[in-house]
Amino acid sequence: MTTPERLQLYGAEISYFTAKVRGYLQWKGLPFDEVPADARVYREVILPRVGFPVIPVVTLPDGQTLQDSTDIIDALESLHPEPSLSPPSPLQRWLARMLELYGDEWLLIPAMHYRWHHNRDWAVQAFGALSAPELPPQAQRELGERKAAPFARAAELLGAVPAMHAAIEASYEALLLELDAHFTSWPWMLGKRPSVADFGLFGPLYAHQYRDPTSGAIMRALAPRLVAWVERLRDGRASGQDEGTADEQVPDTLLPVLRRQMREQMPELADTAERFTAWLQAHPGEPVPRTLGLHDFTIDGCTAPRIVRPYALWMLQRAREAYLILDGNDRLRADALLDATGGALFRDFPDPVPLRRDGMSVAPASG
Ligand SMILES: N[C@@H](CCC(=O)N[C@@H](CS)C(=O)NCC(=O)O)C(=O)O
């Protein structure tokens, strides 16, 4: 198989994690071609190179294949250090990873809920059109039903069961207002300069919540300044924002968002860590499955089961590493921020053994 001369991004406009990588590539100013992941691309590029069906996938002119939005961004940052995506202060570097974790792993719940419970017909058609652009609309619809079925099921597995719908919507709509207030004062998540926090949140907030028609109407009605941020990223207007504007401030308007993350996501991650550690003890040397059964999570006082996903611990580990290296005044500021946002569980997190990513799951880093 030959590799094209330019960087190729195999993905889709409807895909959460493709949006994260595309937003990054545009900001970085790296020339790339985006190739829609139709059935042929899965068959001829993704499956042979990655071994399982997933997007986004990036190929480099030297033939390397990159998979996983976080690893793609890390690898491209090492190959192309300038302009650096890394925020100027260690405190902001930690917060960028916190918010990336929130965007990647927790906003999946509202993003999947709204897509499959409020935009289903539109999404089915879009899945069919992506897979077989050459087919007529009715045939795309039938194909879309088949292609979309596992994703629609995933919405429930991730926790968007009927008993949670109202709580998920209340929390998400409150988040929209919080983000709208933030973007009244600041152009980007960490203030004056885009960071991986912006790209992490752009995944759900563009690919699902802005583009899917019913969700887009909600965002436009509740959060016009968030819409303006989405459109700046979509149009590549983040590029050029990388010089001379950085400072070390942490916008106060992020506090409500961090509070929401600490309240909703952190207890679920701590329970994931405990279950994962128990699983490892019971299954020494075995490959870690993508999910480890079900556990309860809570949003706005409403509790239901969702799948336990070890992968999220790898994203969390990255945020913990960025926190644990803070010292002196930076650590004091981080701890004051954790106190102000109900973040004790993050500060005292029950870390599992060090992990590496393994496909869509993890493995002990020493294994
Ligand atoms: N952690 C991965 C997640 C990638 C992912 O979930 N991609 C979705 C589309 S946005 C997909 O292809 N999912 C297939 C699956 O979940 O089996 C990343 O950051 O790239």
On whether the pTM is more than 0.85, the answer is yes
- Check which CATH number belongs to the domain holding 11 and give it: 3.40.30.10
- Which ligand 1 atom minimizes the distance to the CA of 311? 1
| Structural contact between residues 20 and 74, judged by C-beta atoms closer than 8 angstroms | no
Q: What would the two tokens of residue 259 be?
A: 């509070």
Indicate whether 168 belongs to any domain. Answer: yes
Query: Which of 45, 54, 202, 291 to mutate to test ligand 1, by most ligand atoms within 8 A of the CB atom?
Result: 54
Q: Are residues 183 and 138 in the same domain?
A: yes
Indicate whether 240 belongs to any domain. Answer: no
17 lines ligand 1 (CB under 6 A): yes
15 lines ligand 1 (CB under 6 A): yes
CB atoms under 10 Å from CB of 23, counted, come to 28
**pLDDT value of residue 248:** 75
Identity of residue 173: E
Name the nearest CA neighbour of 136 among 146, 124, 128: 128
**Residue 288 structural domain:** 264-364
Indicate whether 13 belongs to any domain. Answer: yes
| Structural contact between residues 159 and 110, judged by C-beta atoms closer than 8 angstroms | no
Name the nearest CA neighbour of 85 among 224, 234, 203, 238: 238
Q: Among 58, 79, 100, which residue terminates a domain?
A: 79
Q: Are residues 115 and 228 in the same domain?
A: yes
CB atoms under 10 Å from CB of 43, counted, come to 11
DSSP state of 52: S
Which stretches of the chain drop beneath a pLDDT of 50? 243-245
Q: What is the number of residues in the chain?
A: 367
361 lines ligand 1 (CB under 6 A): no
Q: What would the two tokens of residue 275 be?
A: 């279950």
Name the nearest CA neighbour of 203 among 68, 335, 338, 4: 68
Q: Are residues 287 and 182 in the same domain?
A: no
**pLDDT value of residue 243:** 44
**pLDDT value of residue 241:** 57
Q: Give me the residue label for tokens 């629609």.
A: 152
CB atoms under 10 Å from CB of 348, counted, come to 10
Identity of residue 140: Q
Q: Are residues 281 and 344 in the same domain?
A: yes
Q: Are residues 228 and 155 in the same domain?
A: yes
| Structural contact between residues 206 and 105, judged by C-beta atoms closer than 8 angstroms | no
Ligand 1 centroid, distance to 255 Cα (angstroms): 29
219 half-sphere exposure, CB direction, 13 A CA radius: 24
**pLDDT value of residue 240:** 60
278 sits in which H/E element: helix 255-282
Q: Are residues 95 and 212 in the same domain?
A: yes
- Which ligand 1 atom minimizes the distance to the CA of 68? 20
Q: Are residues 212 and 279 in the same domain?
A: no
Q: Among 79, 111, 129, which residue terminates a domain?
A: 79
- Are β-strands 57-59 and 65-67 bridged in parallel, bridged antiparallel, or unpaired? antiparallel
Q: Are residues 138 and 213 in the same domain?
A: yes
89 lines ligand 1 (CB under 6 A): no
Indicate whether 258 belongs to any domain. Answer: no
314 lines ligand 1 (CB under 6 A): no
Indicate whether 317 belongs to any domain. Answer: yes
Number of domains in the chain: 3
Indicate whether 319 belongs to any domain. Answer: yes
Partners of 294 in beta bridges: 307
CB atoms under 10 Å from CB of 324, counted, come to 13
